[in-house]
């Protein structure tokens, strides 16, 4: 209730810029949804620019139109989520029998593989890979491919890639 009241108080002054730091912290799911919807509507309906600072990247991914990723005071990325995702390698999610063996074959084709919590293989493909050819390769080698889909990396994955790449050798 305090967060809602503080936000309402800020909006009474009809600001052009609203700076929010972890606005959904400590809220129940209904409150999170309510604040998320408000954040999305403010720019469109009231012309208010919302600057959101948060460590909850899944939440940011749902409301932000533009992103800035900062690490140790250095701006590593600025742009839209789509622009950030376009810079990252696409992943294949493959549900296949004999997944360990399939992972070795896909790695030989240039894909970096890891097992997901759902038992699927997540394969980071080189930019020039053709996903249907990977599927055909597995089928030709006698694997049973139960499902096959592509996905772009989530914001959290992109954030970790960017910030880890920016770290000096030997860590911080």
Q: What is the pLDDT of residues 63-76, one digit of tens each?
A: 998 999 988 889 99
pTM score above 0.85: no
DSSP SS3 for 112: strand
Q: How far is CA 18 from the centre of its chain?
A: 24
In eight-state DSSP terms, residue 141 is: T
| Mean pLDDT over the full length of the chain | 82
Asked if residue 7 lies in contact with residue 23, where contact means CB atoms within 8 angstroms, the answer is yes
Per-domain residue ranges for the chain? 2-85, 88-153
Domain 88-153 in CATH 3.40.1440? The answer is no
Q: What is the pLDDT of residues 60-118, one digit of tens each?
A: 888 998 999 988 889 999 999 888 877 776 777 888 888 888 888 878 877 677 776 66
CATH of range 2-85; options 3.40.50.720, 3.40.50.300, 3.50.50.60, 3.90.550.10: 3.40.50.300
């Amino acid at each position: 209730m305090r967060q809602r009241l503080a936000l309402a108080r800020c909006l009474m002054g009809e600001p052009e810029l609203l700076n929010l730091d972890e606005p959904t912290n400590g809220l129940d799911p209904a409150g999170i949804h309510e604040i998320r919807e408000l954040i999305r509507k403010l720019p469109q309906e009231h012309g208010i620019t919302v600057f959101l600072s948060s460590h909850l990247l899944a939440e940011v991914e749902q409301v932000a139109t533009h992103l800035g990723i900062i690490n140790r005071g250095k701006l590593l990325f600025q742009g839209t989520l789509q622009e950030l995702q376009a810079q990252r390698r696409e992943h294949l999610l493959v549900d296949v029998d004999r997944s360990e063996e399939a992972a070795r074959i896909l790695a030989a084709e240039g894909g970096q593989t890891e097992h997901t919590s759902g038992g699927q293989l997540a394969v980071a493909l080189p930019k020039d890979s053709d996903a249907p050819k990977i599927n055909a390769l597995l089928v030709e080698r006698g694997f049973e491919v139960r499902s096959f889909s592509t996905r772009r990396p989530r914001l959290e994955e992109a954030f970790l890639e960017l910030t880890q790449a920016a770290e000096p050798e030997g860590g911080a």
